[in-house]
């Protein structure tokens, strides 16, 4: 594995005619269509042999080209990159919820509380707090989404989220956990929920776990010898 930072799979439409996707320092893949050709091309940086750019051809639409790039990245290139975990996680959510609603925000807050509740269980071995009830409330149908969104202090919320990331990383460090490796394994597991680069949802809008899904194995990332 090389030590180059991960460049996220990011697409930018500059709206300048047929060449609607342009490579920049942030792009891992890009697609284009020549003036005299109806097919689409994909250029990508092959990290297995990082000496040049490779191309894939034969895509009828830009969506087909992007689909191929997403699958190729996850199946072929991901093992060769050092993850930028925050970016990877954000891109996963962006794929799952490209246009999140206020209800999606509340549901995600509930999921966050649920993880705090699971930390309580991991620390104490039983259910010592009401975080589970709070999680269910945010994720449920009885919550007033409008009130939650209107009353929140967004600056304080962002500050709290940043501090939680920092303090969580500190706990992992002091416990001797390989947090970077563990996050990459969680990202790998989350990506296995995709079927050909897309998610499937149940009747409640929850992401389903297809046959391709595999649970994360975090035991290799504990303190050595445990």
Residue 165 lies in a domain: no
205 within a domain of the structure (yes/no): no
**CA distances to 16, 53, 58, 180, 217 from 61, in Å:** 17, 21, 9, 37, 38
Question: In this structure, is residue 161 part of a structural domain?
Answer: no
- Decide if 99 is inside a domain: yes
> Which of these three, 81, 113, 133, is where a domain ends?
81
Q: Are residues 73 and 101 in the same domain?
A: no
- Regarding whether 20 and 94 lie in a shared domain, the answer is no
Q: What is the pLDDT of residue 157?
A: 93
Query: Minimal CA–CA distance to 42: which of 17, 14, 70?
Result: 70
In terms of domains, do 77 and 5 share one? yes
Q: Identify the domain containing residue 120 by its residue range.
A: 83-152
Percent of the chain predicted with pLDDT > 90? 14
Longest Cα–Cα distance in the chain: 67
Q: What's the pLDDT tens digit per position in 166-205?
A: 999 999 999 999 888 888 888 888 888 887 767 888 776 7
Question: Of the candidates 127, 152, 177, which is a domain's last residue?
Answer: 152
Strands (E) in 28-136, as ranges, are: 29-32, 40-45, 53-59
Residue 62 or residue 18, greater confidence: 62
66 and 2 both lie in a single domain: yes
End-to-end Cα, the chain, rounded Å: 26
66-96 per-position pLDDT tens digit:
778 777 776 776 665 555 678 778 878 888 8
Q: Are residues 111 and 43 in the same domain?
A: no
What confidence score (pLDDT) does residue 170 get? 92
Is 15 in the same domain as 55?
yes
Residue whose C-alpha is closest to residue 157's, from 94, 105, 194: 105
Residues 12 and 52 in one domain: yes
**103 and 144 both lie in a single domain:** yes
Q: Does residue 170 lie within any of the structural domains?
A: no
How confident is the model over 124-167, as pLDDT tens digits? 876 656 667 888 888 888 788 988 999 999 999 999 999 999 99
Given 126, 152, 178, which residue is the final one in a domain? 152
Q: Kindly state the percentage of the chain with pLDDT values over 70.
A: 71
């Amino acid at each position: 594995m090389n030590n180059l930072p991960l460049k996220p799979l990011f697409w930018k439409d500059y709206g300048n005619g047929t060449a609607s996707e342009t490579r920049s320092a942030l792009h891992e893949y890009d697609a284009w269509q020549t003036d005299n050709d109806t097919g689409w091309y994909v250029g990508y940086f092959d990290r297995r042999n990082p000496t040049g750019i490779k191309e894939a051809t034969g895509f009828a639409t830009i969506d087909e080209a992007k689909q191929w790039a997403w699958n190729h990245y996850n199946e072929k290139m991901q093992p060769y990159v050092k993850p930028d975990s925050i970016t990877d996680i954000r891109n996963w959510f962006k794929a799952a919820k490209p246009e999140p609603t206020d209800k999606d925000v509340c549901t995600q807050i509930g999921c966050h509380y649920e993880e705090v509740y699971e930390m309580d269980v991991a620390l104490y071995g039983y259910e010592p707090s009401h975080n589970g009830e709070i999680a269910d409330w945010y994720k449920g149908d009885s919550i007033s989404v409008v009130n939650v969104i209107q009353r929140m202090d967004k600056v304080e919320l962002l500050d709290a989220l940043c501090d939680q990331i920092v303090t969580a990383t500190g706990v992992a460090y002091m416990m001797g956990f390989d947090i970077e490796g563990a996050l990459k394994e969680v990202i790998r597991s989350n990506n296995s929920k995709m079927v050909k680069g897309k998610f499937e949802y149940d009747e409640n809008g929850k992401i389903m776990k297809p046959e391709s899904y595999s649970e994360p194995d975090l035991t290799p990332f504990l303190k050595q010898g445990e």
